[in-house]
Structure 1
């Protein structure tokens, strides 16, 4: 798959609700081919919370969680952005997935974090998040790829 994957299509499919539960996992797997990570999640906006629809590399109980946006500064920043947002590896903001990675046990902090807000027109529908234990995991992904 080339790196010109159209992330807008992800948002449109969410908006049209054309996806079924198993399709969310397939969708996340497809995006993972362009943005490989240790953990990723597709979350839908429900009021003031984000609800995971699909996860990879996170504890299974992550699917049952609801992330109140105001309680998670990184998720809040992603939701307020109109472009992809990569956090510096030494960003002091807590990561909502700290301690939830399957790749490591215990409270291992995530070192690289990338978030993509998903919009239909001007309405935020949800976010895609990618986390890696490698601090430079997302540095080679172009802004054009992330903001397509």
Structure 2
């Protein structure tokens, strides 16, 4: 897929009227089209902790590691 199209799709997804969880999942899907991966997670730094906001290809047991 054309990289410009992927970036456009990401921008449109991020500005869509979606809740945060759905927006993060769409971002992971778009990133997968650009950079194929087996597993990925989007995390946010909250205080001193990284909190998983969306994940793909990971089992929940791996989240706390």
Q: Is the 8 A contact 1:52 1:62 kept in 2?
A: no
The corresponding residue for 1:29 is 29
- TM-score (normalizing by structure 2): 0.63
Q: Which has the larger radius of gyration?
A: 1
Matched, 1:3 2:17: no
Alpha-carbon shift at residue 19 of structure 1 (Å): 4.4
User: Which SS does the other structure have where 2:3 is aligned?
Assistant: coil
Which has more helix, going by share of residues? 2
The corresponding residue for 1:71 is none
Alpha-carbon shift at residue 62 of structure 1 (Å): 4.1
Deviation >2 Å, runs of 4+: 1-6, 60-63
State how far apart, in whole Å, the 2-side matches of 1:51 and 1:32 are.
21
The more displaced of 41-50 and 18-27 is 18-27
The corresponding residue for 2:20 is 20
RMSD: 2.5
The corresponding residue for 1:118 is none
Stretches of structure 2 that go unaligned for 5 or more consecutive residues are none
State how far apart, in whole Å, the 2-side matches of 1:59 and 1:49 are.
19
Stretches of structure 1 that go unaligned for 5 or more consecutive residues are 66-95, 97-148
Matched, 1:58 2:34: no
- TM-score (normalizing by structure 1): 0.31
Q: How many residues align?
A: 56
